[in-house]
Structure 1
């Protein structure tokens, strides 16, 4: 098979290129040795300008050839055999051959012609040089022809100078010699190629190469489709951190076209502060040959920040890393969503204040800080008095506006390092820190803050011509390193606020342990009352009211509680607690039903006169229940009782609470 007439596989071209580079390397070495020999031969002429220039030229050519060879070798090691490198190798061969020929030809005048060197010696050395050049450039016939032609100049010059016209015969013989050598080089090259082709099993390699090329084309087609159509920005970078490829999605994210982006460095899309971090990350990928994932903030063409997720992988060839491929996703919307979710989780959507979850974290941090500094802090629990009336009469939209106005004013009223939170509804909590180590001065300082908070709702806002003023009730829990639980601290402040509510609202109360004891007592009594209601432990007594004639005209209804097998519990120990608990509704209906039965019993015994009536006490909680009057009317109708036979007694407390 004639290797020159076939399309050679890439592996064969690579082997030939390797052989050619070796010949160039050895040729450069031989040229250096011959040049050194010629310099030594002509050393007697040291100091002459012509000789000095020639020596300098020799050295320059030699070192230029070394630099050129190293550049070719480095390119071959990094990029392999490319068409550009093949062309560069061919041009370098011609230039090397040209320099070899000129070195030998110039030596004919600079060294041989001016020294006592015989014609026989010059012709012998020149023939050796011509043959050597043919062997050196055997894989590049044109380069061989150039080198041999220039090297044969001494064989033409010296014979003409010594023999006259007989020099034509010498020139003809030289031409025949050069032609024969070139023909021999061509045939030798062909036989070497055929040998390599056959003995290297290149026939199978040709088919394998054809299949590989086909697969490569298919893979390149698929890769190109993916590269162009992927929704991710795809960017390739070289070892100098410059962009070499840029797909359409990259343009969508960053705003630059491929022509604008290719050749640009990190500064095109990365912020300067991130340069070193990106370089360090990619150097690690090149070193480990493993990809990586990262998130960074980039900048688009308009200067806007873009949150990006980077998936970087190494680009390798012949075992060496030569770049990075980055697939980039714009995650700005996800980042924004996470921020919104985090904000919703930690902040109140209406007022923008921290919510209960966030405030509890701050309280826990404040407790830990108190343990370190031994300073006092305070928690103030605020509740807006009668805010429910605004929602009920004006609507929740107006109520929301009022709450927002109160929250904004509340933030202004506290110090910059204090924290204001909304716990829901009309409840707000203020955390006051850094009150010093002295308890008395800490109480005085927090009292000043609390006094300002009490007037926060005065002249709050005006909506649709209506002025809104809010009264505030608050409880204060002072704490230092002795407190360890945020929940208990909040409970303490809440108890103090509840005490203000019990005392008529609008005020501030500091928590002390007696409030906890009182609260525990109320809880225990409520539990026992619930059991008493289930076990029918309540008893109803009627105290008659007589006129001056001694006749029973009116009856006072008295509720008593016989707890278990014990004696009757004093009314003062449970009536107030019952009146303020949800149980009072069922107990109240039970009282009305039993009063109706008592009236009917008196009527049957003719003890019920005209104008008689039963007096029944009604609590504020019963009056505030929307179904109370309706249910009482139903009970009266069921028992055949006229409304005027029962008088509902309303306490002053009820009137104050309803106002």
Structure 2
């Protein structure tokens, strides 16, 4: 049965149970929605063109083209949605109704554009426009539905049909109203366009799919055909979608391009008006920029030109901007000769690769002044050459700072020689380039003897002047190709790399050179209007192999110079492996001392002091060290090491406590009470801030009678800081403790200072006792003088090292009444010494 009616509705008698049930392909549904949104966006785009049209004809043309583009988009959306409907029967379309259906869509688009392009959008205009737009879209839909040809009767559910029309009108009103409503809320125009287009697209699509829901397809025996051209669903749908989408996209692109063209045309006049002003402003800004703004050009024929340059070019190159435009050669000639070739090459490289130009170089003015410049520019090629636009800045201050930093990092600030860091680097570089088969090299360390003396006597300014003159003399005397440096306070280094490859010959030449160098450095120096002479000690190491190490060679030279200074200074020494052994022995001694303190390997021996009347008036506590493997170690061996390492403080603390503890025991023995205990005190221990309180603590802890404790100090100790020594001695004497000057007569000026020092006892050094008794009368004259001074100041006198009766008699004749030495007793442990004293007292 054939159906030709445009609209047919279901009734109560319609059997809906046999109706076809279809479904929609979601991908095509989404595509139809996107087409609807793009159609809406096109209409809003044409709105701008309509509003900006200068003539009515232009407005009409934009109105017409926009309506056609939007109508085709809506029409394409409809047929894309129809293609998404999947029915169990074949669906074809009448060509005439399909083409006619586009007219209501275009009319609806005309209404839409008329509303949105109006200068004022009132509520009435929006309502009327929404009704007309909804009606047009509805007509387009139902005409398009009538074009369907299938083996079924197409009916509409009346209620849903009415709802589709209502939805179309309401959504159309909403789509037209949303833009003016959001216009005062959203500042982002693009976002406003997108939201309005989405709402408009939803309005178009919602009416379609509600109307589709109102459609019922009831099966018939024959398709509803009429005398018209019929196209199958795939052919017509595909062509309609492709054509509509293409027209829509082209219209959208045209609108966007037209907007850009209009905007460009609108801005052209303003750009032209501002062009001259901007050029003037650019010149003003460029003249105030801290640098040179320029355009530089290299033509293919090799010529240089400066089409533009700011006024700073006059300051940098001594050329005016006008001169630079005429001739660029004076600028190239202003570049430092040493940098000119590199400068040209950097320009050619940038031109060839079209890479950014970045180059540092120097320029030199007519007065010879040099400044550093940094150029930056971007190249651009045209038909006849390459142009660079960029700027040039003065980096002279930065370069000066970098040089200063380099100076601080690698040079000695006082002498200008390389510092330790740079010397190590140079030595390592030298070793890496060294060919041991052709030559040998050497590291020579130079140490100024007694440098502290000039600082102490003449001041640090004089000391600095001496160091500078030594550095200058060393650099002047150094062989060609050698490297000079200063490693520390008074220590210099010389790296020599031009010695013969044969070690014996190299060592001989080095020995001769070192002697000449010492002689040159020992010549008097003019400092502060006076001449100052100073000796030096040299230590050097020789190398001729490729496996040497910079740190190791410096260490070897340092060991050699230490060996030279230990020998008394004013000498030279070449490193030998035996020196390592000596250092290792010294290190072993230090470690053994630490263990000796921890494991209590020390002990105290005591040697009696006897008068010429047979009385034992005191003992001297003497430190002894018995190593479990090495046996007895002499104090002359380990005491200097303990003093240099600071361990003497712990040892001295132990000795003082042990001696006081032993004195406490003897004071409880009737036969030993009244014996004085003499304890040697080191300089480091004596000058400790807490030494006075330490002595006071020992007296209190062991409940001692203070006058029986005698502290022995050497004259070199007290003369190191005479005022401080006197003050400390006075504080300790107030506690009741007595003092003895040990080794008297071996120092510098003891006799002249003796009156200031509050000593209770003077000990004559065993050197004078031994020499005076073996035919050295001058030494005995000194003994007589010491005896006389001690008696004058009322000091007790004790002679050390008395080994023979002859020595005892000579001392007695000179007025010395108290003796200590092997003639009476050797140092022994406390128990043996106590027994000896008791037996001696019984026999006398």
Question: Shorter-normalised TM-score: what interval?
Answer: 0.5 to 0.7
Corresponding residue for residue 475 of structure 1 = 539
In the aligned structure 1, how far is the partner of 2:261 from the partner of 2:556? 91
1:257 pairs with 2:320: yes
How many Å apart are 1:584 and its aligned residue? 2.8
**What is residue 389 of structure 1 aligned with on the other side?**
453
Partners of 1:202 and 1:505 in 2: CA distance: 94
Alignment of 1:115-154 (within 5 A): none
Deviation by residue 1:189-232 (Cα, 9 ceiling, x = unmatched) = xxxxxxxxxx9x99886435324435655754553343232111
Deviation per CA, 1:571-625: give whole Å up to 9, x if none.
Answer: 4653342244332345345545655565566556467799967373757996797
Q: Partner of 1:145 in structure 2?
A: none
> Partner of 2:504: helix, strand, or coil?
helix
Q: 2:268 aligns with which of 209, 212, 219?
A: 209
Matched position secondary structure for 1:262? helix
Per the alignment, do residues 343 and 202 of structure 1 end up closer, same or farther by CA in structure 2, a change over 3 Å counting?
A: closer
Q: TM-score, normalised by structure 2?
A: 0.48
| 2:304 aligned residue (241, 266, 271) | 241
In terms of mean alpha carbon deviation, does 251-260 or 319-328 score higher?
319-328
CA contact (8 A) 1:614 1:647 kept: no
Question: 1:510 maps to what in 2?
Answer: 574
Distance between the aligned counterparts of 1:591 and 1:204, measured in 2?
103
Residues 1:340 and 1:463: Cα distance change in structure 2 (over 3 Å) = same
Q: Give the corresponding residue for 1:292.
A: 357
Label 1:653 to 1:383 Cα distance change in 2 as closer, same or farther (>3 A): farther
Match of 2:420 in 1: 356
* RMSD over equivalenced CA pairs, Å: 3.9
2:738 maps to 1:642: yes
Distance 1:604 1:485 in 2: 66
- 447, 455, 473: which is aligned to 1:409? 473
Q: 1:597 to 1:383 in 2, by over 3 A?
A: farther
- The CA deviation at 1:551 is 3.5
**Residues 223 and 465 of structure 1, relative CA distance in 2, 3 Å threshold:** closer
State how far apart, in whole Å, the 2-side matches of 1:203 and 1:573 are.
104
Q: Do 1:384 and 1:472's aligned partners in 2 also have CA atoms closer than 8 Å? A: yes
User: What residue in structure 2 maps to residue 633 of structure 1?
Assistant: 729
CA contact (8 A) 1:459 1:467 kept: no
Aligned to 2:282: 223
CA deviation digits over 1:133-188, x for unaligned, max 9?
A: xxxxxxxxxxxxxxxxxxxxxxxxxxxxxxxxxxxxxxxxxxxxxxxxxxxxxxxx
Which protein is richer in helix relative to its size? 1
For 1:365 and 1:519, how far apart are their aligned partners in 2? 29
Q: Secondary structure at the match of 1:338?
A: helix
Which residue does the alignment assign to 2:559? 495
**Any idea what SS the aligned residue of 2:375 has?**
strand
Instruction: Please state whether the residue corresponding to 1:574 is helix, strand or coil.
Output: helix
Q: For 1:378, what is the secondary structure of its paired residue? A: strand
2:334 is the alignment partner of 1:307? no
Q: 1:447 aligns with which of 511, 518, 521?
A: 511
**In structure 2, how many angstroms separate the alpha carbons of the residues matched to 1:461 and 1:428?**
17
The 2-side partners of 1:580 and 1:653 are apart by 20
Distance 1:226 1:284, change over 3 A: farther
Q: What is the CA distance between 1:423 and its match in structure 2?
A: 0.8
Match of residue 807 from structure 2: none
In 1, Cα distance between equivalents of 2:655 and 2:275 = 95
Q: 1:560 to 1:636 in 2, by over 3 A?
A: farther
Residue aligned with 1:353, SS: coil
What are the Cα deviations for residues 310-358 of structure 1, in whole angstroms up to 9, with x where unaligned? 01223567x8766322411111222122222212222211111111112
Higher-Rg structure is 2
Q: For 1:496, what is the secondary structure of its paired residue?
A: helix
CA contact 2:436–2:544 (8 Å) conserved in 1: no
Number of residue pairs aligned between Structure 1 and Structure 2: 454
Query: What is the CA–CA distance in structure 2 between the aligned matches of 1:559 and 1:301, rounded to whole Å?
Result: 81
8 Å CA contact 2:357–2:376 kept in 1: the answer is yes
Question: For 1:311, what is the secondary structure of its paired residue?
Answer: strand
SS at match of 2:569: coil
Q: How far is the alpha carbon of 1:382 from its aligned partner?
A: 1.9
Q: Which residue of 2 aligns with 1:462?
A: 526
Quick one: distance in 2 between partners of 1:487 and 1:250? 52
Distance 1:306 1:487 in 2: 40
Q: Go from structure 1 to structure 2 and tell me whether the alpha carbon gap of 1:650 and 1:225 turns closer, same or farther (over 3 Å shift).
A: farther
Structure 1 residue 454, shift from structure 2 partner? 2.3
- Indicate conservation of the 8 Å contact 2:431/2:548, yes or no: yes
Task: Summarize the Cα distance change of 1:569–1:294 in structure 2 as closer, same or farther, 3 Å threshold.
Answer: same
Q: Return the alpha-carbon distance in structure 2 between the equivalents of residues 512 and 426 of structure 1.
A: 23
| Residues 1:218 and 1:409: Cα distance change in structure 2 (over 3 Å) | same
C-alpha contact 2:305 2:328 (8 A) present in aligned 1: yes
Return the alpha-carbon distance in structure 2 between the equivalents of residues 589 and 442 of structure 1: 52
Q: Return 574-583 or 507-516, whichever deviates more.
A: 574-583
Once residues 407 and 607 of structure 1 are traced to their aligned partners in structure 2, the CA distance between those partners, rounded to angstroms, is 69
The answer to whether the 8 Å contact 1:592/1:635 transfers is no
Task: Give the whole-Å Cα distance in 1 for the aligned partners of 2:737 and 2:387.
Answer: 98
Equivalent residues of 2:462, 2:528 under 8 A apart:
no
Query: 1:387 deviation in Å?
Result: 0.8
Deviation at 1:391?
A: 0.9
Quick check: 206-215 or 256-265, which moved more?
206-215
Question: 1:442-484 deviations in whole A, cap 9, x for unaligned?
Answer: 1110111111232344342233454311121222212210652
Instruction: State whether residues 243 and 262 of structure 1, in contact with CA within 8 Å, keep that contact through their aligned partners in structure 2.
Output: yes
Query: 1:513 & 1:421 partners in 2: Cα distance?
Result: 25
Do the aligned partners of residues 641 and 402 (structure 1) sit closer, same or farther apart at CA in structure 2, a change above 3 Å counting? Answer: same
Cross-structure match for 1:136:
none
Q: Distance in 1 between matches of 2:440 and 2:486?
A: 23
CA contact (8 A) 1:597 1:639 kept: no
Instruction: Specify the SS of the correspondent of 1:498.
Output: helix
1:96 maps to none
Q: How many angstroms apart in 1 are the aligned matches of 2:508 and 2:747? A: 32
For residue 439 of structure 2, what is the aligned residue in structure 1?
375
CA drift of 1:441 comes to 1.3
Question: Structure 1 residues 304-313 or 542-551, which shifts more?
Answer: 542-551
Q: Structure 2: any 5+ residue segments left out of the alignment?
A: 1-257, 684-713, 750-844
Quick one: structure 1 residues 416 and 264, their matched pair in 2 at CA, closer, same or farther if it must change by over 3 Å? same
Tell me if structure 2 keeps the 8 A contact 1:432–1:446.
no
Distance 1:453 1:608, change over 3 A: farther
Q: Is the 8 A contact 2:621 2:677 kept in 1?
A: no
Please give the secondary structure, in 2, of the residue aligned with 1:519: helix
SS in 1 for 2:304: coil
Aligned partner of 1:152 in structure 2 is none
Larger CA deviation: 275-284 vs 521-530: 275-284
Cα separation, partners in 2 of 1:436 and 1:564, compared to 1, 3 Å:
same
Which structure 1 segments of 5+ residues have no match? 1-198
